[in-house]
Amino acid sequence: MDRRELLMAAVANGALAAAPAALAAAKLEGRATRTSAQAVRLDWEAPRRPASIFVSSDPDAQKPYMRAIRSGVRGGRAELPLPVSPRPYFLLSTPDGAQVRVAERLLPLQGGRNFRDLGGYRSADGRQVRWGRIYRSGVMSGLTLADMSYLSGLGVEVICDLRSVQERTSQPNPFQKAEAPRVVGTDYDMMSFDGLHRATTRAEAVDAFAASYVQFTEILAPQYTDLFARLVRRETPLAFNCSAGKDRTGMGAALILSVLGVPRETVVADYRLTEIYAPPSMYAGQAPHAGPSPGITPEQSQAFARMPREVMQVMRGSDPAVMRQALARIDQKFGGPIELAKARFGLTDARVAYLRGVYLI
């Protein structure tokens, strides 16, 4: 075992020692939702217990270094007058020692698409994925100057663009002309989606789409390998994106969360959020049967136009059945997402343990 592997093992062992405390904190869950540019609503699942609320612009700040803004709040809800920037991260705490960190999952961007934080999810051992470290997104070509300033203020270090060269050329990331964050991407041949073109029912579409997700792990193996390598090197905050932010990005998020030990149903629930944050109605300006994302070829557009409506609904949406079936195929073929990541994306048991030590609290 080399020096890096030893360091990874040490970090992992230290994190595992803290797991029992995290398990106790798992009794409290909450969420933050922005209701306006100047207000955030907190909801938590302990309405009968008084809760104290602390806030900081540092996602990892410990309670003594956070600002107390409410104490003894009952009812499981609080409305807080807080602006978009600096981004607020909250700690909810009850007298019996339970606590949970929460933040807005969907970033309040003016021109962003499906740009959201992977933080806050519970791992199987009760820890939480760190907020403000790993973001997933759709195409960023519509980001405004205010959006770019906001993201730069979050310290985003690198953006892994999973799109093809054609997509990146037709809808360039505005950060390509900025000093930071760095935008990285490599070329590859786009898939044909032949199975989807032949689908005539929802069930056939789910099956074909799930098969295409598994194909992503082959076609995008260099991109996913680079993504995990940057996480191992702690090049964070890091964002990764494709066009819609649900397919290539969705599989990347599922792999990352699975490696971090997040339960399967939580992984699937995160996938489904795209349909909430970037609903199919966003494509209403396209032709009635237009494709689900920018960057498709004219030939693909014609094929999409001939698809039955229920097949197109699967294409445009984020049906949980697609991700469940894709992960089930990975289970059958590789023994699970973690085994796949070790076989194809450069991870080892030590690196998996290291990533959990770094990105779980």
> What is the distance between the alpha carbons of residues 168 and 186, in angstroms, rounded to a whole number?
10
Q: With 60 as the cut, is the pLDDT of residue 167 above it?
A: yes
242 is catalytic: yes
Whether the pLDDT of residue 47 is over 70: the answer is yes
Over residues 280-300, the pLDDT tens digits come to 876 544 433 333 444 455 665
Looking at per-residue pLDDT, the higher value among 17 and 131 belongs to 131
Range from 35-49, 75-89, 269-283 carrying the lowest mean pLDDT: 269-283
- Give the Cα separation of 139 and 293 in Å (integer): 9
pLDDT of residue 26 exceeding 90, the answer is no
Closest CA to 108 of 180, 32, 37, 30: 37
What's the predicted TM-score (pTM) here? 0.89
Write down the pLDDT at residue 18: 42
**Angle, helices 248-259/337-344, rounded to nearest 10 degrees:** 100
User: Is the pLDDT assigned to residue 6 strictly greater than 60?
Assistant: no
pLDDT at 155: 97
- Domain layout of the chain by residue ranges: 27-102, 105-359
Catalytic residue of the set 242, 251, 256, 312: 242
pLDDT of residue 9: 45
What is the average per-residue pLDDT within 109-138?
97
Encoding tokens for residue 57?
A: 């612009």
- Mean pLDDT (the chain) is 88
CATH says 27-102 is which class?
Answer: mainly beta
Q: Do 54 and 68 meet the contact criterion of CB atoms below 8 Å apart?
A: yes
CATH topology of domain 105-359: Protein-Tyrosine Phosphatase; Chain A (3.90.190)
